[in-house]
Amino acid sequence: MQAMVANQRLDHLERLLEVARGLTTAPDLETFLQTVIAEASEMTNSEFASALEYDESVDALRFLSVSWIHREALRQMSVPLEGSAAGKVFYESQSLIIQDTKSEDGHFIGADQITQYETRSLAAVPLIVRGETIGVLEAINKKDNERYNEEDLTILTALGALAAQAIQNERLRRQVKAAQIEMAELERLKTDFVAIASHELRTPLGLIFGHATFLRELIKEEYGEQLDTIIRNAAKLKEIIENLADVDSHRRGSARVRSNQVSLARIIDDVTLMFQDEAKSRGITFSVEKPDAPLYLNADGAKINIVASNLVRNALQFTEAGGRITIRAEEESGYCKVTVEDTGVGIPARDMARIFERFFQVEAHLTRRHGGMGLGLAVAKGIIELHGGRIWAESEEGKGSAFIFLLPTQPL
């Protein structure tokens, strides 16, 4: 007798392990739950089994998986939490056995009436995930006039844990899918905004910039300061629109590189000349370290100039008076390496993975002290990758940042 019981328990264990494997091999939740209720019926020697899930929208339990015989009848049915054995198990998160539904209270007869099936006895366990009860697993009508026992509950509890995890996995999968759809829509809206803004703003801004420059040459000096303000801010808008256009072209894959032999050293000199007055006026030490060699490479010189300019502008933006910005250029094993290093505020570790994203800004929108739309680094990344290069950042919050890019000296 003991040997027979031991063999039965070993068989149950093997079957539970096989069900557990189905968590990763079953094609979908319904298929897996059908396996669970089939094993629940057979291993507890019951006529049927079912899995119910809590539906918050109706504050009741609904049948998630039942025998194919009752599937159509119970598909749309809800089991109330009050006045049902399943509801009691769900509320209390405790297992329950009813040996005789006629003499013990708690059985909900609604399902019996719909299926025209008599429930004589049942055993039920809660489906729990991380302390939260999400449903119930039931076995119905113990065969051969036997009574449900603790071993039956143990079996149902083990199967219920697997069923609960499968349901939770499906919930998470749906949440991820919904988030992906939402993110895709947001990305589409962002891309549409970039394309429309860069296209529609270019013409009116060109007119503002052109007419303001023309008037600056004609109008008396007493209005020169006002016109200079218009021209200066129009130039800033022009830069933003050009960045928007660059981001849009990189995003759509329409950006093109017009490569020829250029001197990286000359590009660094041009960028240094462009920003040295601003750095000096703000009390920032601006220095360049590069070899005497011209550092030739095959690239689109205008685009590489944009990258270097964006990195220096970014460094100036986040470096206070008394700070230091250094540009280094060198050649390394078939690559030209450029580093723009500053002693500015640095970048929080939590933001490092996102700094090259479009429109991402380290500071909160309502509290940030620095301007910009968060496009400069995204543009730089797109240009460097178009050239077959790589760009990254190294930073420690409060101690400054270094932006580094590598470009092959020969086209890939």
Last residue of a domain, one of 170, 198, 218: 170
User: Model confidence over 40-73: pLDDT tens digits?
Assistant: 999 999 999 999 999 999 999 999 888 877 777 7
pLDDT confidence of 258, banded at 50, 70, 90?
confident
Domain that holds residue 183: 178-252
Looking at the fold, whether 182 and 111 belong to one and the same domain comes out as no
Residue 174 predicted with pLDDT over 80: yes
Looking at the fold, whether 7 and 149 belong to one and the same domain comes out as yes
Task: Give me the phi and psi of 27, to 5 degrees please.
Answer: -70, -25
Residue 367 predicted with pLDDT over 60: no
Residue 400 predicted with pLDDT over 60: yes
Average pLDDT of span 230-242? 76
- End-to-end CA, the chain: 76
Residue 255 predicted with pLDDT over 70: no
Classify residue 50 as left (phi > 0), alpha (psi -120 to 50) or beta.
Answer: beta
The pLDDT value recorded for residue 190 is 73
Residue 124 predicted with pLDDT over 90: yes
CATH number of domain containing 159: 3.30.450.40
Looking at the fold, whether 312 and 401 belong to one and the same domain comes out as yes
Answer for the pair 362, 369: CB distance below 8 angstroms, yes or no: no
Looking at the fold, whether 243 and 378 belong to one and the same domain comes out as no
The pLDDT value recorded for residue 316 is 93
The pLDDT value recorded for residue 131 is 92
Average pLDDT of span 379-406? 92
Residue 220 predicted with pLDDT over 80: no
CA neighbor of 319 nearest in space, from 369, 244, 380: 369
Residue 154 predicted with pLDDT over 90: yes
Enumerate residues 6+ apart whose C-beta is below 8 A from 195: 248, 252
Residue 114 predicted with pLDDT over 70: yes
For the chain, give the mean pLDDT: 86
The pLDDT value recorded for residue 333 is 84
Looking at the fold, whether 140 and 201 belong to one and the same domain comes out as no
Answer for the pair 260, 295: CB distance below 8 angstroms, yes or no: no
Looking at the fold, whether 230 and 148 belong to one and the same domain comes out as no
The pLDDT value recorded for residue 1 is 59
Query: Which stretch of 210-214, 240-244, 324-328, 381-385 has the lowest confidence by average pLDDT?
Result: 240-244
Q: How many CA atoms lie within 13 A of 179 on its CB side?
A: 6
CATH number of domain containing 345: 3.30.565.10
The pLDDT value recorded for residue 188 is 80
**Quick one: three-class SS letters along the chain?**
CHHHHHHHHHHHHHHHHHHHHHHHHCCCHHHHHHHHHHHHHHHCCEEEEEEEEEECCCCEEEEEECCCCCHHHHCCCEEECCCCHHHHHHHHCCCEEECCCCCCCCCCCHHHHHHCCCCCCEEEEEEEECCEEEEEEEEEEECCCCCCCHHHHHHHHHHHHHHHHHHHHHHHHHHHHHHHHHHHHHHHHHHHHHHHHHHHHHHHHHHHHHHHHHHHHHCCHHHHHHHHHHHHHHHHHHHHHHHHHHHHHHHHCCCCCCCEEEEHHHHHHHHHHHHHHHHHHCCCEEEEECCCCCCEEEECHHHHHHHHHHHHHHHHHCCCCCCEEEEEEEEECCEEEEEEEECCCCCCHHHHHHCCCCCCCCCCCCCCCCCCCCCHHHHHHHHHHHCCCEEEEEEECCCEEEEEEEEECCCC
CATH number of domain containing 186: 1.10.287
Tally of domains in the chain: 3
b/e map 29-44, b = 16+ CB within 10 Å? beebbbbbbebbbebb
The pLDDT value recorded for residue 176 is 93
Residue 243 predicted with pLDDT over 60: yes
Last residue of a domain, one of 252, 277, 297: 252
Last residue of a domain, one of 151, 170, 189: 170
